[in-house]
Amino acid sequence: MATQMIILNGGSSAGKSGIVRCLQDVLPDPWLAFGCDSFVESMPARMQASQEGIEVAADGAVTLGEDFRTLEEAWTEGIVAMARAGARIIIDDVFLGGAASQRRWLKRLDGVEVLWVGVRCDSAVAEGREVARGDRARGMAASQAELVHDGVVYDLEVDTTRTESMACARTIAARVGRPPER
């Protein structure tokens, strides 16, 4: 069965977005890209800093509320529906709940062939990227660097600490369409 979705999981500033853009360039067929950042940005402003939505503490810790979870479930269902309708999808996600976050996807993906990719980055390097970006709470990259991978099962892992996005994308693209090695 052909790969229909590629789900990238990694902490903030790990380099997922750059890999996604490169994947869209190197993969022969068109792939749509969606990420948790665009999902958060699509929410009403009042939910982007509230107990019901998403809260980012001064130290970078992230708390997700009930309304966030409800909308996230609908968003996930919509993404999977597009894959079932024939679109090829790349997801840029941050599994704040580690294995529980992966299970959230798995319970909706029945029959959809997914390539699970862990995107790792040394926390000190990710912290430097976080500062350079200027749009993240300081501490988010360090707090998420290992947390997001806790208990998650991958088909492939890449490390952006010293490897450029294009090289990571080529490694991932080489696995698209091959049976999972789980």
- Residues with catalytic annotation? 37
Which residues, 6 or more positions from 9, have their beta carbon under 8 angstroms from its beta carbon? 16, 93, 94, 95, 101, 102, 116, 117, 118, 119, 148, 149, 152, 154
